[in-house]
Amino acid sequence: MNILVNYLHGNAAPKIMGGFINGLRDLGHVVTDFPTSKRLAQSYDLLLGYSGCSVIELPDSPYTLAHAFGARLVQYWAHDTPDPDKVFREGTILQSDEGCWNRWRQLGIECGYLPLATDPFVFQAIDLPVKYDVVMTGLPSPDCVDALRRLAGLGVGVFGPWKDGWEEHPEFEEYYQGYLASSAALNVAYNESLICLDASSPKDLNSANFTVFNAMASGCLLITNDKPTLDVAFGDAKPPTYADDCRPIIDAYLEDPDLLRETALAQREEILRAHTFTIRARQLLDAAEQDPPLQGAQVGPDAFGRIAGQDRGLRS
């Protein structure tokens, strides 16, 4: 299958679409990465984009590029939008946020639930000396700060932005280890840690975030505050969770190294079994097969050059 993948530059979009690109290629499909490609082919079987980025409008036409190719169209959303009425309703719509998925269906938007995953080509177990009992990555939300205050006496490593981030919490400066500029560096940090602690803020409890999947794939033990979406995404393989105080469950695993290793290994095996981007890519294609290709546009060959040179002409 010949697939065009389009997304905007930012934080989440390149990671998510990069994972899908690797997964689709792993399945043997030919993928054009539109933000980095300078040329469009004359035909595609499927257009995939982050949020509305697959909806590429044709110049001076009510149709989209998917209509012109007679291709299937897939929108993959990992967030809500202020105006759901603007979500393009043709093709296949998938949501990784369970709360948004339920809300959109109540609003009449036909969409499927497809959670995030890990890229096993990046996040994998490697043999490194242990530096940290507990590692935490990302921005210092109130939930992260509360969790860190309970970890006195442990070897803690905190990674994330300093400016407009951890500099606002000097009490944790002894834990701060810097900013990880790449996924490969993040994988190293996980592999140097016994436990990864994920403390999502309330607004993120409907989505199993990248930390959940990537830490588990890297081979350290993930412990997270409880999120309803974990039951949906993992079922009986749900990772260890805490409600108010993370310290008792962390101590229990640190005091039982065999249990810690066994649980971390089981988590990694579960991720590789059911939660890689290759698996998600296959699920995405299966969902797209349930919807017909878009049809109806007649365009000249010069239109494709104009599309490639324009500011993407996106709907979202």
Say what the pLDDT of residue 314 is.
47
d(CA 94, CA 257): 40
Q: Tokens standing for 91?
A: 């093709």
What is the CB neighbour count within 10 angstroms for residue 152? 8
Burial class (CB in 10 A: 0-12, 13-18, 19+), 86: exposed
Say what the pLDDT of residue 312 is.
43
CATH C-level class of 132-274: alpha beta
> Can you give the residue ranges of every domain in the chain?
2-117+277-309, 132-274
What is the CB neighbour count within 10 angstroms for residue 314? 18
d(CA 197, CA 212): 9
d(CA 158, CA 138): 8
Number of helices (H), then strands (E), in the chain? 11, 12
d(CA 121, CA 6): 21
Residue type, 66: A
Say what the pLDDT of residue 229 is.
84
Say what the pLDDT of residue 304 is.
54
Q: What is the pTM of this model?
A: 0.91
Contact (Cβ atoms closer than 8 angstroms) between residue 86 and residue 316? yes
Say what the pLDDT of residue 251 is.
98
Say what the pLDDT of residue 136 is.
97
DSSP 8-state symbol, 84: G
What is the CB neighbour count within 10 angstroms for residue 13? 19
3-state SS assignment for residue 82:
coil
- Asked if the domains at 2-117+277-309 and 132-274 fall in one CATH topology, the answer is yes
Rg value, the chain, Cα: 21
How far out from the chain centre does Cα 251 lie? 29
Say what the pLDDT of residue 110 is.
96
Going residue by residue through the chain, which has 316 residues, state the pLDDT in tens, using 9 for 90 and above: 999 999 988 788 999 999 999 999 999 999 999 888 878 888 899 999 999 999 998 888 888 999 999 999 999 999 888 899 999 999 999 999 888 999 999 999 999 999 999 999 899 999 999 999 999 999 998 999 999 999 999 999 999 999 989 999 999 999 999 999 999 999 999 999 999 999 976 555 566 789 999 999 999 999 999 888 898 889 999 999 999 899 999 999 999 999 999 999 999 999 999 999 999 999 999 999 999 999 876 655 555 555 544 434 444 4
Its CATH architecture, for the domain 2-117+277-309, is 3-Layer(aba) Sandwich (3.40)
